[in-house]
């Protein structure tokens, strides 16, 4: 019965190892090559917000808050916010009541830089690290959720794309 020499076995194992690594690196490259500007164009609805709120007194304690679709409807009598990202890089974020009336909205310009979304409103500028894929997006940033004067609260907004177009005003 023939057997494989240790030298030939080592070469086969190295070849297998390199081919597996190459497949993993090509998958990582595909994920990195998402054109965020093209992916975000359209209409997105927030379906959950998670915030880790750090303490106002500088201690290591914190609390977490989560806003879900059910809370928006049952507690606030509102629909979850909807974002409209237009191709001309204008955006709107609209909060509606359960009857469809606009309760609050903000407007501004948007742009992307790599995996970062920048929203420029008349009174503020926001930056979010964005992961997008399969009709979903996660917006992450640090902000002052608890109004203690420190942007130390970790925010994550989870969105789902509800249209590739934007609603006309």
Residue pLDDT, tens place only, 9-45 = 445 444 554 555 555 544 444 445 789 999 999 999 9
Per-residue pLDDT, averaged over 62-73, amounts to 89
Q: Are residues 25 and 51 in the same domain?
A: no
Boundaries of domain holding 11: 1-32
Q: Are residues 44 and 21 in the same domain?
A: no
pLDDT at 9: 47
Q: Are residues 72 and 97 in the same domain?
A: yes
Q: Does residue 109 lie within any of the structural domains?
A: yes
Q: Are residues 21 and 68 in the same domain?
A: no
Q: Are residues 69 and 137 in the same domain?
A: yes
Residue 31's nearest CA partner among 122, 138, 115 is 115
Mention every residue, 6+ apart, whose C-beta is less than 8 A from residue 69. 47, 48, 80
Q: Are residues 105 and 147 in the same domain?
A: yes
Q: Are residues 129 and 62 in the same domain?
A: yes
Q: Are residues 19 and 40 in the same domain?
A: no
Per-residue pLDDT, averaged over 119-130, amounts to 96
Alpha-carbon span 167 to 96, nearest angstrom: 14
pLDDT at 55: 75
Number of domains, the chain: 2
Q: Are residues 25 and 53 in the same domain?
A: no
Q: Residue 75 half-sphere exposure, CB side, CA atoms within 13 Å?
A: 8
Q: Are residues 92 and 126 in the same domain?
A: yes
Alpha-carbon span 25 to 126, nearest angstrom: 32
Q: Does residue 168 lie within any of the structural domains?
A: no
Q: Does residue 102 lie within any of the structural domains?
A: yes
Q: Are residues 50 and 19 in the same domain?
A: no
pTM of this prediction?
0.76
Q: Does residue 70 lie within any of the structural domains?
A: yes
User: Distance from first CA to last CA of the chain, Å, rounded?
Assistant: 79
Q: Does residue 169 lie within any of the structural domains?
A: no
Q: Are residues 157 and 143 in the same domain?
A: yes
pLDDT at 112: 97
Q: Residue 4 half-sphere exposure, CB side, CA atoms within 13 Å?
A: 8
Q: Does residue 111 lie within any of the structural domains?
A: yes
Do 54 and 64 touch, CB atoms closer than 8 A? no
């Amino acid at each position: 019965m023939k057997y494989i020499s240790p030298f030939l076995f080592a070469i086969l194992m190295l070849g297998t190892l390199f081919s597996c690594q190459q497949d993993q690196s090509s998958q990582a490259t595909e994920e990195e090559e998402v054109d965020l500007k093209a992916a975000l164009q359209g209409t997105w609805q927030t379906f959950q917000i998670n915030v880790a709120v750090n303490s106002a007194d500088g201690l290591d304690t914190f609390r977490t808050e989560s806003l879900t679709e059910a809370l928006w409807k049952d507690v606030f009598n509102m629909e979850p916010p909807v974002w409209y990202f237009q191709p001309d890089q204008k955006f709107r974020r609209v909060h509606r009541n359960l009857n469809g009336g606009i309760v609050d909205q903000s407007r501004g310009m948007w742009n992307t830089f790599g995996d970062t979304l920048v929203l420029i409103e008349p009174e503020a500028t926001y930056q979010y690290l964005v992961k997008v894929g399969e009709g979903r997006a996660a917006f992450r940033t640090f902000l002052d959720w608890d109004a203690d004067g420190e942007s130390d609260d970790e925010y994550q907004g989870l969105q789902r794309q509800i249209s590739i177009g934007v609603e006309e005003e």
